[in-house]
Amino acid sequence: MARKNIAAGNWKMNTTIDEGIELALQIQDGQRNKEVVIILGVPFTHLYPLKRKIKASSKILLAAQNCHHKTSGAYTGEISPLVLAALKIPYVILGHSERREYNHEDNALLSQKVDAALEAGLKVIFCCGESLEIRQAGQHFSHVKKQLSDSLFHLSASHMKNIVIAYEPIWAIGTGETATPQQAQEMHEEIRNILRKKFGKRVAENTSILYGGSVKASNATVLFSQPDVDGGLVGGASLKSDEFLKIINSF
């Protein structure tokens, strides 16, 4: 099974529900490559209304931006993976650099979140990536390997069919900086090699690995042309339908 090309939008804490519906419908109705899997990572408040508004035939999928590592309990303000599954939300984003930094989510906690999400029947977009300091120190490969090994290596090969990897060079998020296509390919190739050594060739070749560092319409084509870059986890550019549609059509 060939791995999928994916354009995933991470709306973060942006848009009202009405704005989100309008944006999603513009993407749904726009001219786009129907072979590309489109995933919209939207605020929790938007999941149910968008689920009702987006046509099933559009093949636009939804993702939550986080979930808790427990299925229920006294965790005020958190979202259970079982609730997402009951809403028939197929994906959840875990390990985003902002969650790691601002909410102090470490590899051990993310391992538990991955387990909870998979057990609930969700697919996971698992984020990894390094800071500028780590890259400048030449430790970016070992840092990303540790993120993957600590949070994913306990899984079986069969579990991995429900995992998408998103590589985020943190130094290129919201800064206007972008890893060169060569830097992106270098890390994506390394991630695929890490997966190959742990889970085997079949898993490595079938796992989609997305680039998540300031993807724009102007750089998407050259990034997505790299052999191990299977798409993007797109931030700000996913909030503009015309820009995101250009990214979708960049494969």
CATH code of 144's domain: 3.20.20.70
Indicate whether 81 belongs to any domain.
no
The single residue listed with the structure tokens 């309008």 is 22
Residues 176-210 have pLDDT tens digits of 667 899 999 999 999 999 999 999 999 999 999 99
Count of domains in the chain? 1
Query: Residue 89: which of 29, 34, 46 has the closest Cα?
Result: 46
Residue 232 · residue 247 · CB < 8 Å: yes
Percent of the chain with pLDDT over 90: 92
Determine, yes or no, domain membership for 86.
Answer: no
Distances (CA, A) of 33 to 59, 88, 207, 246: 11, 24, 21, 10
- Is position 196 within any domain? yes
Does any domain span residue 75?
Answer: no
User: CA dihedral in degrees (226, 229, 230, 234; nearest 10)?
Assistant: -120
- Assigned token pair, 231: 């798409």
Q: Are 154 and 121 in contact (CB under 8 A)?
A: no
Grade residue 1 by pLDDT with cuts at 50, 70 and 90: low
Q: How far apart are the first and last CA of the chain?
A: 18
Could you tell me the two tokens for 244?
A: 């995101």
Torsion of CA 25, 207, 123, 140, to 10 degrees: -100
The per-residue pLDDT for range 33-47, each reduced to its tens digit, is 999 999 999 999 999
pLDDT in tens, 112-155: 999 999 999 999 999 999 998 999 899 999 999 999 999 999 99
Q: Which residues are catalytic?
A: 96, 168
57 assigned to some structural domain: yes
| Amino acid at site 168 | E
248: β partners = none
Residue 226 in any domain: the answer is yes
Range of the domain at 221: 6-66+128-149+160-248
Other C-beta atoms lying within 10 Å of the C-beta of residue 202: 13
Query: For residue 90, which of 32, 170, 4 has the smallest C-alpha distance?
Result: 4
